[in-house]
Chain A
Amino acid sequence: QVQLVQSGAEVKKPGTSVKVSCKASGNSLTELSMHWLRQAPGKGLEWMGGFDPEHGDTIYAQKFQGRVTMTEDTSTDTAYMELTRLRSDDTAVYYCAIAVKRRCFDPWGLGTLVTVSS
């Protein structure tokens, strides 16, 4: 059973960057399709992007194109999501999750709260 452990909460200034990590255990990252989603306080879920095994590439939601980079270190089975040029509306809990069974998500990490404030 795959388990995902995310890095701790972050507080960032507007205009800076944040890099959130997600370590997978129970399976090699090379066998998984890792995705990132976020949830602003009191709001719904938003997909940011993830690995598309059909094309062998990472795809990003257009909303985040140019600001987000998702990478993987297969030697440590750790995935990373870096978001640049942070704004106050990027304040959210960021989740990593595994896409299975035609892109539903299971399991999820516990989430990483990123607060963007001056």
Chain B
Amino acid sequence: DIQMTQSPSSLSASVGDRVTITCRASQSISMYLNWYQQKPGKAPKLLIYAASILQSGVPSRFTGSGSGTDFTLTISSLQPEDFATYYCQQSHNSPLTFGGGTKVEIK
């Protein structure tokens, strides 16, 4: 199975901050990497697929990059509604696997 490792597991940031979350795969997954946002008590929401393609309706302050084993999700200017937990997911091989999540909290 492909292991997905996210870092950090949590971070504190202020509104307006630039935030970067990383995700590392245990083997190359090309660009088969997706990012989700989850708020408490809610289902995850797809933000970015294929490493860098913004899902329709997602604000442009979210960007994804990377290929192979190392990927990044960046929020250019953190907004109040962005405080949530973020997950990466590889879709290269079954079983499809997720990172452990990064909780973005208010500083």
Contact = CB atoms under 8 A, between A and B. Distances in A.
B91 A104 contact: yes
Contacts of B100: 44
B50 A47 contact: no
Contacts of B34: 104-105
A104 B43 contact: no
A96 to B, nearest CB: 10
Given A62-B95, A111-B43, A45 B49 contact: no
Contacts of B87: 44-45
A108 interface: yes
Interface string B28-55: 0000101010000011111001100101
B95 A108 contact: no
A111 B42 CA distance: 8
Nearest to B85: A44
Contact of A45 (B44, B53, B55): B44
Interface residues of B, number: 23
A46 B100 CA distance: 10
Interface string A47-73: 100001000000101110000000000
A45 B38 CA distance: 10
Interface in A65-118: 95, 97, 101-111
Interface in B2-46: 32, 34, 36, 42-46
Interface in B71-107: 87, 89, 91, 94-101
A52 B91 CA distance: 12
A47 B44 CA distance: 13
A107 B45 CA distance: 7
Nearest to B48: A104
Interface of B: 32, 34, 36, 42-46, 49-50, 53, 55, 87, 89, 91, 94-101
A-B residue pairs, 6 tightest by C-beta? A103-B91, A108-B43, A104-B34, A106-B46, A104-B49, A47-B96
Interface of A: 44-47, 52, 59, 61-63, 95, 97, 101-111
